[in-house]
Structure 1
Amino acid sequence: MAVFASRPPKLTTLVLLTALSLLSLNMFLPSLPHMAQDFGTDYALVSFSIAGYLAITAFLQLIIGPLSDRYGRRPVILASLGIFVVASIACAIASDIWIFLAFRVLQGAVISGMALSRAVVRDTVGEREAASMLGHISMAMAIAPMLGPLFGGALDEIFGWRANFIAFAVLGSAILSLCWFDLGETNRAPTGSILQQFRMYPELLRSGPFWGYALCGMFSTGAFYAFLAGVPLVATTHFTMSPVVLGLCIGTITVGFFFGSFLSSRHAKNYSLATMMLVGRIVACAALLLGILSFAAGAEHAGFLFGSTAFVGIGNGLTMPSATAGALSVKPVLAGSASGLSGALTVFGGAALTTATGSVVTAGGVHALLGIMLFCSAAGLVCAFCVPKAANVLSLKS
Structure 2
Amino acid sequence: MTTSSGPTPAKMFDRTTPPHILTLVLMTGLATLNMNMVLPSLPSLADWFSEDYAVVQLAISAYLAMTAVLQLFIGPMSDRFGRRPVVLASFGLFLVATIGCLFAPSFETFLAFRLIQASVASSIALSRAIVRDMVPPEEAASMIGYVTMGMAVAPMIGPMIGGVLDQIYGWQAVFWMTFIFGAFVYAMLWLDLGETNDHRTADFGAQFRAMPELATSRRFWGYSGTAALASGAFFAFLGGGPFVATQILGLSSASLGAYFGMIALGYMLGNFVSGRYARRIGMNRMMLLGTVFSTFGTAFILLLFMLGFVSAPIFFSSMLLVGFGNGMTLPSANAGMVSVRPHLAGSASGLGGAMMIGGGAALSALAGALLHDDSGAWPLLYIMLASTFLAILCALDVARTAKRKGELGIQ
**Is the 2:226–2:391 contact (alpha carbons within 8 Å) kept by the matching residues of 1?**
yes
Which of the residues 367, 390, 405 maps onto 1:379? 390
What is the match of residue 190 of structure 1? 200
Distance in 1 separating the partners of 2:310 and 2:58? 35
Q: SS at 2:152's partner residue?
A: helix
Equivalent positions of 1:293-332 (< 5 A) are 298=307, 300=309, 306-332=316-342
Equivalent positions of 1:22-37 (< 5 A) are 22-32=32-42
What is the match of residue 171 of structure 1? 181
Distance 1:279 1:88, change over 3 A: same
Post-superposition offset of 1:235: 7.0
Stretch of structure 1 that moved more, 16-25 or 321-330: 16-25
Post-superposition offset of 1:227: 4.3
Distance 1:80 1:288, change over 3 A: closer
What is the match of residue 289 of structure 2? 279
Which of the residues 8, 11, 14 maps onto 2:24? 14
Residues 333-383 of structure 1: CA distance to partner in whole angstroms, max 9, x if unpaired? 211111111222122222333355567777986777555433322211111
**Is the 1:128–1:268 contact (alpha carbons within 8 Å) kept by the matching residues of 2?**
yes
Q: SS at 2:90's partner residue?
A: helix
Distance in 2 separating the partners of 1:315 and 1:120? 24
Distance 1:284 1:189, change over 3 A: same
Stretch of structure 1 that moved more, 332-341 or 346-355: 346-355
Which of the residues 106, 129, 142 maps onto 1:132? 142
Distance in 1 separating the partners of 2:33 and 2:118? 11
What is the match of residue 51 of structure 2? 42
Equivalent positions of 1:97-108 (< 5 A) are 97-108=107-118
Number of paired residues?
Answer: 391
Post-superposition offset of 1:224: 2.3
Distance 1:242 1:102, change over 3 A: closer
Stretch of structure 1 that moved more, 306-315 or 113-122: 306-315
Distance in 2 separating the partners of 1:99 and 1:289? 40
Q: SS at 2:200's partner residue?
A: coil
Q: SS at 1:179's partner residue?
A: helix
Distance 1:321 1:345, change over 3 A: same
Normalising by structure 1, what TM-score? 0.84
Distance in 2 separating the partners of 1:53 and 1:369? 19
Residues 23-43 of structure 1: CA distance to partner in whole angstroms, max 9, x if unpaired? 2223344445555666x5435
Residues 284-337 of structure 1: CA distance to partner in whole angstroms, max 9, x if unpaired? 3345555666677x5746576655443222211111100010001011121111
What is the match of residue 11 of structure 2? none
**Is the 2:84–2:195 contact (alpha carbons within 8 Å) kept by the matching residues of 1?**
yes
Post-superposition offset of 1:259: 1.1
What is the match of residue 251 of structure 2? 243
Q: Which has the higher helix share?
A: 1
What is the match of residue 207 of structure 1? 217
Q: SS at 1:343's partner residue?
A: helix
Gaps of 5+ in 2: 1-7, 9-14
Distance 1:196 1:228, change over 3 A: closer
**Is the 2:160–2:261 contact (alpha carbons within 8 Å) kept by the matching residues of 1?**
no
Stretch of structure 1 that moved more, 110-119 or 152-161: 152-161
**Is the 1:128–1:271 contact (alpha carbons within 8 Å) kept by the matching residues of 2?**
no
